[in-house]
Chain A
Amino acid sequence: MKKTINLSWYIALAFALVLPWLFPNDYTRHLLVMAMLAAVTVSSLNLIHGMTGQLSLGHAAFYGIGAYTSALLVMRLGVPFWLAFLGAIALGGLTGLLVGLPVLHLRGHFFAVATLGFGEIINLVLTNSVGLTRGPMGLPGIPAPKAIGPLDFTNRVIYYYLVVLVLAIVVVISLRIQDSKFGRALLAIKADDVAASAMGINVFYFRVLAFVISTGVAGAAGSLYAHYALFISPITFSTTDSVNLVVMLLVGGTGSVPGAVTGAVLLTFLSEWLRQVREYQMVIYGLLVLGVIIFVPGGMAGLAAKWLPALERRLKGGKRGDVAPSQR
């Protein structure tokens, strides 16, 4: 059996661990944290969109639910961060279940429309329940997680490592799902749900399961964001942000676990870097994304799948014969 977690993942992890030391300034380190947070959220979107083909256009809302749940639990009820973090996962998953149950047995685009509507509703609720969330004024003064021994989470690098740890867990979960009957069933559903059901796959159950895991992970990312930014407001969890997550996944490569991470990191840095061109930032960003979607339809993962085998061949001394026909 081939190993689920191969050498390139360990290399990527090692690289992620040394990154903050290569950029010893606060600004870049802040971007690194944001990139890793985006990677967790985009990975969670990949669990539903990449694996089952169902498009969630309200994923930022689940991220928001996680952020507000965690922040409010800590601030209003004095719950320790780690418990609040679990609470954010639970509530994210629970809302995913409640949204998924009535919609996921429908075929076609109902799910995308329903999640889009749900995202808007959540945003309105966050904006208007001023008593609980302070509405558009936002929620300031969220405490960082309490230090564990020498691990002071107000330190950017330490927090970065916390996010990388969570990302690593999410990646392992994604890869292990992919490599089991669950991943195979989800891919079958994505390709042809009628044929999948004729294989004995309970299409509805698997879709709901994937969505609950996905929204639970989004909740985790939201919690990590809240206790890093220390201030949250509804603007961060709007439909625009949901769409941006979809774009990150598209650029990285829908359905690919490394693609989701790559897309998130790449676009986080790209959009920051484009600040240099001021008012043209979004124009150029949009054009670049459009270019990738048109010219590299499989995203970065598709590109890698195309070029890596050729590279491997060259490295191994150009033996052409030993490549399986499926890789042509």
Chain B
Amino acid sequence: MTSPLLNVDGLSKHFGGIRAVDALSLQVMAGEIFGLIGPNGSGKTTLFNLITGIYRPTGGKVTFKEQDVTGWKPHRMVAAGMARTFQNLRLFGQATVYQNVLLGAHRLAGYTLLDALLHTRRWAKVEREIAAHAEHWLEQYGLTAVRHEVASSLPQGMQRKVEIVRALSAHPTLLCLDEPAAGLNPTETQELMDFILGIRSAGHTVFLIEHDMKLVKGICDRIAVLQFGQKLAEGDFATVSGHPAVIEAYLGRRFKRAKSH
């Protein structure tokens, strides 16, 4: 068996007495769409923040591309090939769509301050390249028409898409999406599902948090369920949705008893 792209091993994050993530282990394999579900406050976003370097773990280990990345800062994680979006959109609202996507490509701009100050040939070449790169992404994902719009002026669904394209423009191996369908209507969610499938076909591994079961059922290869910072179950949608602990977490004890009778 090949080693996983992302290996989370016994990861913990405690805020004072609260164990937001508690000795959690899971693996994301290259090329899959991995879904993370769980009730509100179960530690999903905290896990994302640990993996992408926004929080430092209290304990445990994160391995990405067979490299120990535990406690790395966010910018190093991006350099290592991991990009993310946020639950509450974090676009640069005053900037245009194009500028947002250009910022996503920041790590690809390999020139020094001196290059920028002297306008060297390397500066001009790299700036041209990343501009073309940004335009390419905008075109590929149908955002060319709104490229000069201020990001915050777009409808919610479009902003989500811009945020994902911005993350993609960093060329990530692993794309982490935190509730991409939040605030989207059913049509927009359907579009988003096709969009995510397209991203996977383009060679990216996708790790997503989602509450929308239609989306999770529709596109995730494997799913992990979180509750109180611990993993309740893991597997494909059928396995997970039939798991007694999951039914209890989502629907309560009485339902579980009723169903088993």
Which residues of A are interface residues toward B (Cβ below 8 A)?
A: 1, 4, 173, 176-177, 179-182, 184-185, 187-188, 191-192, 194-203, 209, 324-326
Residue of B nearest to A178 (CB): B116
Residue of A nearest to B146 (CB): A325
Complex partner residue of A177 from B74, B79, B117, CB under 8 angstroms? B117
Knowing A197-B74, A197-B75, the reply to whether A185 touches B106 (Cβ < 8 A) is: yes
Residues of B within 8 A of A196 (CB): 103
- Pairs A–B under 8 Å by Cβ, sample size 9: A180-B116, A181-B111, A192-B92, A197-B75, A200-B78, A200-B106, A200-B170, A201-B75, A325-B149
Residue of A nearest to B54 (CB): A194
Residues of A within 8 A of B78 (CB): 198-200
Residue of B nearest to A205 (CB): B75
Q: Are A198 and B83 in contact (CB under 8 A)?
A: yes
Q: How many A-B residue pairs have CB under 8 A?
A: 92
Residue of A nearest to B79 (CB): A200
Apart from A180-B123, A199-B106: 19 A-B pairs, beta carbons within 8 A:
A1-B131, A176-B119, A177-B116, A180-B111, A181-B116, A184-B106, A191-B93, A191-B94, A195-B90, A195-B92, A197-B53, A197-B75, A198-B78, A199-B166, A200-B83, A200-B170, A201-B103, A201-B106, A326-B148
A252 to B83, CA, bound (A): 38
Q: Are A173 and B117 in contact (CB under 8 A)?
A: yes
Of B94, B102, B106, B128, which is in contact with the most chain A CB atoms at under 10 Å from its CB?
B106
Complex partner residue of B148 from A182, A188, A209, A324, CB under 8 angstroms? A324
Residues of B within 8 A of A188 (CB): 92, 103, 106
Does any Cβ of A come within 8 Å of B104's Cβ?
A: yes
Residues of A within 8 A of B90 (CB): 192, 194-195, 198
Q: Are A197 and B54 in contact (CB under 8 A)?
A: yes
Residues of B within 8 A of A1 (CB): 124, 127-128, 131
Complex partner residue of A199 from B53, B104, B124, B148, CB under 8 angstroms? B104
Residue of A nearest to B166 (CB): A199
Residue of B nearest to A180 (CB): B116
Q: Are B74 and A198 in contact (CB under 8 A)?
A: yes
Of A184, A201, A324, which is in contact with the most chain B CB atoms at under 10 Å from its CB?
A184
Which residues of B are interface residues toward A (Cβ below 8 A)?
A: 52-54, 73-75, 78-79, 83-84, 86, 90-96, 99, 102-104, 106-107, 109, 111, 113, 116-117, 119, 123-124, 127-128, 130-131, 148-150, 166-167, 170
Residues of B within 8 A of A176 (CB): 116-117, 119
Residues of B within 8 A of A197 (CB): 53-54, 73-75
A165 to B107, CA, bound (A): 34
A148 to B131, CA, bound (A): 45
Residue of B nearest to A326 (CB): B148
Q: Are A184 and B73 in contact (CB under 8 A)?
A: no
Chain A: minimal CB distance from B81 (Å): 10
Chain B: minimal CB distance from A168 (Å): 14
Residues of A within 8 A of B99 (CB): 184
A185 to B104, CA, bound (A): 10
Residues of A within 8 A of B109 (CB): 181
Residues of B within 8 A of A209 (CB): 113
Q: Are A181 and B52 in contact (CB under 8 A)?
A: no
Q: Are A187 and B79 in contact (CB under 8 A)?
A: no
A162 to B50, CA, bound (A): 53
Q: Are A187 and B95 in contact (CB under 8 A)?
A: yes
Residue of A nearest to B130 (CB): A181
Residues of A within 8 A of B86 (CB): 195, 198
Q: Are A202 and B73 in contact (CB under 8 A)?
A: yes
A47 to B79, CA, bound (A): 26
Chain B: minimal CB distance from A103 (Å): 18
Knowing A325-B148, A326-B150, the reply to whether A198 touches B52 (Cβ < 8 A) is: yes
A196 to B111, CA, bound (A): 18
A202 to B74, CA, bound (A): 8
